[in-house]
Amino acid sequence: MIDLEIFQKFETKEEADEVKTMLESHGVQSSIEGKGGLLDANFVGNDYNDYFLLMLWPADFERAQLILMQYTVVDIDKVDKNYMLFTLSDIELMDVIAKPDEWGIYNYKLAKLILQQRGKKIDEVAIHSMEEHHLQDIARPRSLDTTWIVLGYTFSILTVFIGLTKAYYMLVLLYGVNLFPGIVGIILGRTVWKTKKTLPNGERIYSYTEKSRMHGCYMMWIGVIGIAITIIHLFI
């Protein structure tokens, strides 16, 4: 079952509520998640803990972008001149325009207006090229760091060792500090194996490379086997 996914991030709940109201008035279902509570950036690849997150169904992403693009009105004369976009260079403003999924439609439109106010011609072909490059960049799967690979295998294999050698004193110790290795190995392995990310167009892809996902799969199943062996030796 596909869940609601992160569509946009906001620094304040008021900003998130405003966009949520606009989208829902056009029949796009959404919800807002408060700050924190998501997987660590080491695994997911983005640190969203400092933001309010607007969540949509992936199939609604493109429609929502079109709605916001059409109905978000920016009057540059009414924008506080201390607003941070006014301090950005022309190149930095082009980066804002190329990444509306990160900066939001309001900043996207404002960046265009600021460039126009500065007398800069906006090259739509160049912007499209930058948008394509950005999409390719965020679609590129990540490789799991060697440290996490070693830790994942260590936790999973340790459980097998405990089960085969009946070193239950180790099991009791590990339980005592809430670090039952097999469970840790399973959680880490499954996270790497199955985690997906949603692109700005709503497409869902795996977050990690095939090689990293293979390691994750192995970690998970070694952890499962280790726990099974331990349980069998404990109760049979």
In angstroms, rounded to a whole number, what is the distance separating the alpha carbons of residues 123 and 140?
26
The string of pLDDT tens digits covering residues 77-112 is 999 989 999 999 999 999 899 888 888 888 999 999
Orientation angle between helical segments 146-165 and 210-235, nearest 10 degrees: 20
6 three-class SS: strand
The overall average pLDDT reported for the chain is: 81
114 three-class SS: helix
Strand partners, 1: none
pLDDT above 70 coverage of the chain, percent? 82
Residue 18 scores a pLDDT above 60: yes
What's the mean pLDDT in 121-139? 83
pTM of the model: 0.63
Residue 213 scores a pLDDT above 70: yes
State the pLDDT at residue 177.
Answer: 40
The string of pLDDT tens digits covering residues 104-124 is 888 999 999 999 999 988 878
Return the sign of the alpha-carbon dihedral for residues 112, 113, 116, 118.
Answer: negative
- Most confident range, picked from 51-60, 125-134, 170-179: 51-60
Cα dihedral 78/15/107/136 (nearest 10): -170
